[in-house]
């Protein structure tokens, strides 16, 4: 166990009550933020953080505030911390430690890596993105296209928000250099067949560039199994600190010329793309987050419970709710988008917050391509995490039904929905 992971006992797998496993209560006890009555159903915007993650961040500040390369204990602790963080991240993604890249956020990493690849691209080269993408996996390519004279092509989705693989294949051609896609939608939760898309990319001679931000909190990842060349995710989506984690295939990373201050180390391969001093305290928090998830069985051990929570939510939604995306848990993660015809989602979200439920109301949720295609206008986004309970889901569905019914009974404003 790393020096910077707070010692925590593995929770007992006690028999649950009313269909709920006993470990859920044990896990919730490790979060100060879950001690009250407020119900957090906003996981796509960032999960709650267990206390041991905050303790690990503080411990690095107390015991290893400094930098690498010095011949004394504080510096050696940081060297161990960085090595441990790479190794843990590699286990999480199914790659080698030297293929891990740390950055401020997924978006920051994506701009940096796409810009680096841009050194090798030429006018007329093409990048394919999808309507399912978060804009963090689209905007970097649009900016690069404007600078270099590239073409960005857009693969469509079906009305149920699933990726249209046939249309994606039609977008590919001899000039395709990158296929960028999300493993799961941050807006509607729809999962993409990542292996199929990676295979199509490789058949066209292109790189498979995967946004796994919304997938990583809910399902296990193995970059080798799907054939990803680049994959990016964000630790704050799975109970960790605000930190981006990237994977790049080693031979690919070694072939690229990074934007880098000249004296900085160039080994291992992933370190070539880390500019400046790493946020060591956040790496300590990341290690603690991985330790926390491992103590619960990891993503594979939590996925079944999250599907049960999602099924409970879907079964109890008000009949007047309009759900966008998959209507069952098959082919999705527990992220849901819905609204009520003629009723302001912002009003519903505010009233639910007053009742103790945290969900978002918004427009495109940084997925403008999908928003344009599906045209939901304004909608509520509900996102579940493993620390939610069946009781919370039942309370929420009751509250949502009540709030929506009250809103529907109000006189309509001539300027728009209530």
Please tell me the predicted confidence (pLDDT) of residue 14.
35
* φ/ψ bin of 195: left (φ > 0), alpha (ψ from -120 to 50), beta (otherwise): alpha
Query: Phi and psi dihedrals of 197, rounded to 5?
Result: -70, -40
**Average pLDDT value for the chain:** 94
Of 7-11, 46-50, 165-169, least confident by mean pLDDT is: 7-11
Let me know: does 64 contact 280? Beta carbons within 8 Å: yes
The CATH number, out of the four listed (3.40.50.150, 3.40.50.720, 3.40.640.10, 3.30.450.40), of the domain defined by the range 73-292:
3.40.640.10
Enumerate the domain spans of the chain: 73-292, 298-409
- Which residues, 6+ apart, have CB-to-CB distance to 315 below 8 Å? none
177-203 pLDDT tens trace: 999 999 999 999 999 999 999 999 999
Ordered DSSP codes for 14-72: ---STT--THHHHHHTT-GGGSSS-EE-BGGG-----HHHHHHHHHHHHH--S-TT-SS
Please tell me the predicted confidence (pLDDT) of residue 20.
84
**In the predicted model, is pLDDT for residue 253 greater than 60?**
yes
Rounded to two decimals, the pTM is 0.93
Ordered DSSP codes for 105-170: -HHHHHHHHHHHHGGG--TT-EEEEETTS-GGGTHHHHHHHHHHT-EEEEE-B-TTS-B-HHHHHH
Helix (H) or strand (E) holding 232: strand 230-234
Q: 275, 287, 283, 282: which is closest to 92 by C-alpha?
A: 287
271-322 pLDDT tens trace: 999 998 999 999 999 999 999 999 999 999 999 999 999 999 999 999 999 9
Please tell me the predicted confidence (pLDDT) of residue 263.
74
* Average pLDDT rounded to a whole number, residues 263-273: 85
Let me know: does 120 contact 256? Beta carbons within 8 Å: yes
Burial 268-278 (b: 16+ CB within 10 A, else e): bbbbbbbeeeb
Write the class of the CATH domain 298-409: alpha beta
Q: Which residues share a beta bridge with 184?
A: 191
Q: 411, 284, 418, 398: which is closest to 341 by C-alpha?
A: 418
Ordered DSSP codes for 166-225: HHHHHH--TTEEEEEEESB-TTT-BBP-HHHHHHHHHHTT-EEEEE-TTTTTTS---HHH
* Helix, strand, or coil (residue 238): helix
Of the pLDDT bands very low, low, confident and very high (cuts 50, 70, 90), residue 11 is very low
* Average pLDDT rounded to a whole number, residues 9-16: 38
């Amino acid at each position: 166990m790393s020096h910077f992971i707070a010692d925590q006992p593995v929770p007992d797998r006690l028999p649950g009550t009313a269909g709920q496993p006993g470990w859920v209560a044990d896990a919730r006890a490790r979060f100060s933020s879950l001690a009250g009555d407020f119900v957090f159903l906003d996981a796509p915007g960032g999960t709650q953080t267990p206390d041991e993650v905050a303790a690990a961040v503080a411990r690095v500040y107390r015991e290893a505030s400094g930098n690498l390369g010095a011949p004394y204990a504080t510096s050696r602790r940081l060297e161990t911390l960085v090595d441990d963080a790479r190794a843990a991240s590699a286990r999480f993604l199914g790659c080698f430690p030297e293929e891990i890249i740390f950055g401020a956020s997924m978006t920051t990493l994506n701009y940096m890596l796409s810009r680096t690849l841009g050194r090798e691209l030429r006018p007329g080269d093409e990048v394919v993105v999808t309507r399912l993408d978060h804009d963090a996996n689209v905007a970097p390519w649009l900016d690069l296209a404007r600078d270099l004279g590239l073409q960005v092509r857009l693969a469509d989705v079906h009305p149920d928000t699933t990726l249209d693989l046939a249309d994606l294949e039609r977008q590919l051609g001899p000039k395709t250099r990158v296929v960028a896609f999300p493993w799961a939608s941050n807006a509607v939760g729809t999962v993409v067949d990542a292996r199929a898309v990676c295979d199509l990319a490789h058949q066209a001679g292109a790189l498979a560039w995967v946004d796994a931000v919304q997938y990583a909190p809910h399902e296990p990842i193995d970059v080798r199994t799907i054939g990803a060349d680049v994959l990016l995710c964000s630790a704050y989506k799975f109970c960790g600190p605000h930190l981006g984690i990237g994977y790049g295939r080693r031979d690919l990373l070694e072939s690229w010329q990074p934007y880098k201050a000249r004296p900085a180390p160039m080994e291992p391969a992933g370190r070539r793309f880390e500019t400046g001093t790493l946020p060591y305290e956040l790496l300590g928090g990341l290690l603690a987050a991985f330790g926390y998830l491992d103590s619960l069985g990891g993503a594979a051990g939590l996925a079944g419970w999250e599907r049960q929570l999602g099924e409970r939510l879907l079964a109890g939604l008000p009949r007047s709710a309009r759900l966008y995306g998959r209507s069952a848990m098959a082919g999705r993660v527990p992220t849901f988008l819905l609204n009520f015809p003629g009723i302001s989602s912002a009003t519903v979200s505010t009233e639910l917050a007053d009742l103790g439920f945290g969900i978002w109301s918004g427009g495109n949720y940084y997925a403008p391509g999908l928003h344009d295609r599906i045209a939901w206008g304004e909608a509520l986004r509900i996102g579940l995490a493993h620390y939610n309970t069946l009781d919370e889901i039942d309370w929420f569905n009751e509250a949502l039904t009540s709030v929506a019914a009250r809103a529907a009974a109000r006189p309509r404003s001539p300027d728009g929905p209530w």
